Amino acid sequence: MKVCAEYEDQITAFTAHRAILDKGADPEDIELRSPYPLSEHPIPPHRSKPMIMRNVVRLMWLCGLLGGFSFLTFTQWEWGLTAKTGGQPLVAVPINAIPMYECGMITAIIVTTIMFFVETRRYRQLVPALEEDMPVANGYIALVVSGDSAKKAKEWLDGTNARSVVSFVLPLAITSFLMTGCATGNLRYQQVIKPGEAPADMPAPTSLRMPTAAEQEVKPLQPLGWLYYGDQLAFERAEADFKRQEAELEEKVKNKQMKRKDVNKQLRKMRRDLDEYKPEILLYKSGVPSEIRDAKNPVPYDEASKKRGAELYALNCAQCHGVTGKGEGAVGAKWGGPEVVPHLGDAAKYGDESRYPDGFFYHNIIVGKNLMPSFGYKLTSREVWDIVNHIRELQGK
């Protein structure tokens, strides 16, 4: 059995609480329940177990930091790519401070939540009785007495300015346990090449970087204006199609097979479709601008430049134009060999410097041409000139 008295404000509730304690109620049996934190905490000393939440959170925060740090550091040495760096970590250790910090914080947050539920759990039933909850839901403070003290509580509480005092029988607490299982066994392990066992002929690491001072000295020729945006070939094909169909339709009008109005409507639609194909800026349609074509190569034709050029050529061009510049690269071969991908090493054609000056190559590399992509966004000017020097070398200059 339980007795539940309802109070409008804190002061009367505290007074009643003290009053029934004086009358000999067992402090263990009394519970004050309120819709907001009370300004005093009338918790009997043996029940107010010290809160350990704060200390646990502190400790776990530290564990989170250290755990995060050790995990991140571990990944640095276990990284497959460290084979390329000769066993050096890929990320400078101080950088780990940032993810490590977040590790500590997220641990603290989760531990706070867990501690909150764990610590309040012992004051709970899974579903409290509605009679007990109603006064609190109505905005009042409830003094709930249970156990042995409950038998006399009703008369003790009658004179304490309570709004109402009710007694009721405790319903069965419903408890359920959820069984959870962990699916294990879907982790497979494969034999891999460990760092350190990497083949010796692995190429040296390269990555995107800032241009060095020497590189910055070779300035771009001029801001090249707008990117050639769109597919010129596709547009030309579509344009030819359009002309053919237009002629056919005109023919039909002439033979009185179709009405002028319908044909015009159809033509309008077709013209709109064609516009979709139109490359947005056709600045370079007319070829290489003469200022670039006639520019002198500012990078001297020396061993150092040719060597740099060879490396860059191998990285950027060889897959299409081939190592020897015959258009025999893997991609180039797939596209149809020298017929599609020009034979850059051809001394007879491209070696003719009056027809194909250095500026011609410079321009083509930077802006690209039809199927060939543009390299303006990833090569610095000096690198482009280095490649030009290497092409000259291929041509046997």
Partner 1 sequence: MSHENLNFRAAECSIPEIFDAVFEPIGKSGWKSNIVLTICGLLILGAAIAFSGQLYYGIGQTGLHIPVYWGGYIITFVFWIGVAHAGALISALLRLCGAEWKSAVTRVAEVITLFTLPAAGSFPLIHLGRTELFYYMLPLPNNRLLWPNFKSMLMWDVFAVSTYLTGSVLFLYVTMVPDLGIARPRMKGWIKTLYTILSWGWRGTAEEWKRVMEAAALYSVIILPVVISVHTIVSWDFAMQVVPGWHSEVFGPLFFVGALYSGTAAVFTMLGLLLWTYPGFKKVITQVHYDMLGRVWLVLGLAWAYLFFNDFVPAYYAHEPDKMDYLYYNGFGPYAAACWFLVIGNFALPLFCLAFQEFRRSIMPMFVLSIIVNIAMYIERVFIVIPGLEIYNGLNFNTIPYTYSATEIAIIAGTFGWSIGGLTLFCRIFPILPYWELAETKARQVEVDMAGVKVAYFQSGE
Nearest to 1 by CA among 153, 119, 118: 153
Q: Give the three-state DSSP class for 236.
A: helix
Token pair 């007319």 in the structure block, residue = 286
Contact assessment for residue 141 and residue 7, using Cβ atoms and an 8 Å cutoff: yes
Nearest to 228 by CA among 39, 387, 85, 363: 363
Q: Which is nearer to partner 1, 81 or 314 (CB)?
A: 81
Residue 24 contacts which entry, ligand HEC, partner 1, none (Cβ below 5-8 A, type-dependent): none
Kindly identify the residues of this chain, within the stretch 190-229, that bind partner 1 according to CB under 8 A.
190, 192, 194-195, 210-211, 220, 223-227, 229
Kindly identify the residues of this chain, within the stretch 357-396, that bind ligand HEC according to CB under 6 A.
361, 364-365, 369-373, 375, 387
CA gap 346, 285 in Å, rounded: 25
CA gap 103, 114 in Å, rounded: 16
Give the shortest CB-292-to-partner 1 separation in angstroms. 11
Any contact of residue 9 with partner 1 (CB under 8 A)? yes
Q: Pick from 15, 70, 88, 113 the residue near partner 1 by CB under 8 A.
A: 113
The letter for the amino acid at 141 is: I
State which residue has the least CB distance to ligand HEC: 317
Q: Which is nearer to partner 1, 51 or 347 (CB)?
A: 51
Q: Total number of residues binding ligand HEC (CB under 6 A)?
A: 20
Q: Which is nearer to ligand HEC, 42 or 338 (CB)?
A: 338
Any contact of residue 138 with partner 1 (CB under 8 A)? yes
List 168's β-bridge partners, or say none. 2
Query: What H or E segment, with its residue span, contains residue 342?
Result: none
Kindly identify the residues of this chain, within the stretch 279-318, that bind ligand HEC according to CB under 6 A.
316-317
Q: Which two tokens stand for residue 87?
A: 């066993």
Kindly identify the residues of this chain, within the stretch 360-379, that bind partner 1 according to CB under 8 A.
366-367, 374, 376-377, 379
Give the shortest CB-44-to-partner 1 separation in angstroms. 10
Kindly identify the residues of this chain, within the stretch 79-98, that bind partner 1 according to CB under 8 A.
79-81, 90-92, 95-96, 98
Contact assessment for residue 9 and residue 145, using Cβ atoms and an 8 Å cutoff: no
CA gap 356, 242 in Å, rounded: 35
Give the shortest CB-328-to-partner 1 separation in angstroms. 28
Any contact of residue 139 with partner 1 (CB under 8 A)? yes
Per-residue DSSP letters for 11-52?
HHHHHHHHHHHHTT--GGGEEEE-SS--SS----TTT-PPP-
Interface ranges with ligand HEC (CB under 6 A)? 316-317, 319-321, 331, 340-342, 344, 361, 364-365, 369-373, 375, 387
